[in-house]
Amino acid sequence: MFTFLGHLFDIVCTFPTLNGLILLYSLVGDLGLALLLFTVITQLITSPLTLYGLHEQKHMTTTLKELQPEFEALKERYGNDRQKLRAESLALYKKHHINAVAGLLTLIPQIYFFTALWAVFSNQVLSARPMAVNQLLYPFVPKLTTTIDPHLSWLSGYAIDLTQPEPGTIVHFFAILAGILIFICIKISIPTNGAMMTTNDASGKKTTRSIASIMTILIVASIWMLPAGLVLYFVVATLIAILQQLYVNSWNGRSLQATKKDSLARALQAKHRLFYHGNEKLREVALTFDDGPHPTHTPQILAILQRYGVKATFFTIGNLAHEHPDIIRQEVADGHTVGNHTWDHVRLPPLSTCDATKQILDTSDELEKITGIRPTCFRPSFGEISEDTLAIINNLGLITVMWNNMPLDWLNPASHVISARVTKRARNGMIILLHDGYGERTNTIAALPSIIETLQARGFRFVTLSELVEHATTPIAALAAQARQ
């Protein structure tokens, strides 16, 4: 059995790798240069698979972080019913297009070529007589006439035998370089900034440094006594992996598609069809609540708003509005604005035009059925928009409303933290994003009176998004005249 597996490994891995290396060696006449070219070529050939895996891995990490409140809500709902919790979690994975296996795709080509080169360099194949090596070559590969020179000649002053471990007991140049590169690779592979960091920024960065340091030590210890050629391959492959990871990190939609999205976004902002903030010349702010209605939290928020005489905007999930229509009617009766937040709280960019349109239309239809008023404002789930989704939203006659103050209340920090994050960043025309649905919102509710009192004391007036949009499109002089009447 083991003999059969050994032969199979040679046929699938060792022989193709050996032939590719010999073919390049016959062209350049230097084993080190041939190995360098072999590494670059194989990494380029497998780059589509690697980039896809890296992108999916990044998408999974980002999505899971953002979905944390939803997972917490599932735990709260199903408690110890592990089977139901698992089923609902998998459904959440599917709904948000999370592919947990895709990230492993990046390892497949690396493992394949590393093990194949290990067989080539460790079994003294390259040191064999030309006649013995020629028997392993494919017909199209030039046959050897002399023994392969295994020494690296193009690195000045460092002529080493690539089939043997690096000389010396302390200084192993390639092994140390590999350790440095793997440290960098791990550091840029684990997200530690932007949306991925929360209130535990320092802790996250410390963990990342620890993981990178431990992995570096383990890698260097593992490859210390491997053939120098194999370590050289590892160095070059890791360097290319760093470049690929940097590309994926910077991609984030930042391509031609993102340029188009940004261009459309600017055009929609100019036409007052996309808002990140209101009129910055007016001392007013808009309170907005996402992901409701919630049977407990939303009524408590409505009671507080009524106590202070404050109007707000509720971006509503369609299926929850269908479950709790009385709460939606109460929001409208109290003078608040109700907006569209998709039917299932899904990311729109990955969806087809038909599916994305259905998510929006079904919600608008449901809200109009409940209240008799068709919503005019829309907020995309997770704030994710693309050129296509912006166009869909606009074509459906809806104004896209984002925000410029998000205290991350969905992570459920202490109420005083939520309040401080909102009030310290307060400025004219600010759109505040809070949540009344999905997960525990007790701290958000507790923070609301302090937010209202502090901002009112500083002269801010609370408006609905309908008012904010109107004020953004109305000249200041006309608004002043209205205020005097």
Active-site residue set:
290, 435
Burial class (CB within 10 angstroms; exposed 0-12, middle 13-18, buried 19+) of 149: middle
Instruction: Give the position of tokens 């801010």.
Output: 460
**Which residues make beta-bridge pairs with 337?**
313
What's the start-to-end Cα distance of the chain, in Å? 94
Vertex 345, ends 343 and 351: CA angle to 5°? 85
Distance, in Å, from the CA atom of 74 to the CA atom of 181, rounded to the nearest integer, reads: 40
Instruction: Report helix, strand or coil for 139.
Output: coil
Distance, in Å, from the CA atom of 283 to the CA atom of 62, rounded to the nearest integer, reads: 35
In 29-172, alpha helices (H): 31-45, 47-66, 68-78, 82-95, 107-122, 130-134
Distance, in Å, from the CA atom of 70 to the CA atom of 404, rounded to the nearest integer, reads: 23
Q: E strands, 136-199, where?
A: none
Q: Are 188 and 245 in contact (CB under 8 A)?
A: yes
Side chain identity at 395, as an amino acid letter?
N
CB neighbour list of residue 391: distance below 8 Å, 6 or more residues apart:
264
Distance, in Å, from the CA atom of 148 to the CA atom of 161, rounded to the nearest integer, reads: 11
Give the CA distances from residue 284 to residues 166, 287, 418, 452, in Å, rounded to whole numbers and listed in that order: 69, 10, 19, 12
Distance, in Å, from the CA atom of 314 to the CA atom of 287, rounded to the nearest integer, reads: 9
Instruction: Report helix, strand or coil for 428.
Output: coil
Distance, in Å, from the CA atom of 126 to the CA atom of 38, rounded to the nearest integer, reads: 15
CB neighbour list of residue 483: distance below 8 Å, 6 or more residues apart:
none
CB neighbour list of residue 354: distance below 8 Å, 6 or more residues apart:
none
Vertex 125, ends 122 and 131: CA angle to 5°? 170
Instruction: Give the position of tokens 């698992």.
Output: 86
Distance, in Å, from the CA atom of 479 to the CA atom of 297, rounded to the nearest integer, reads: 35
> Other C-beta atoms within 10 Å of 287: how many?
26
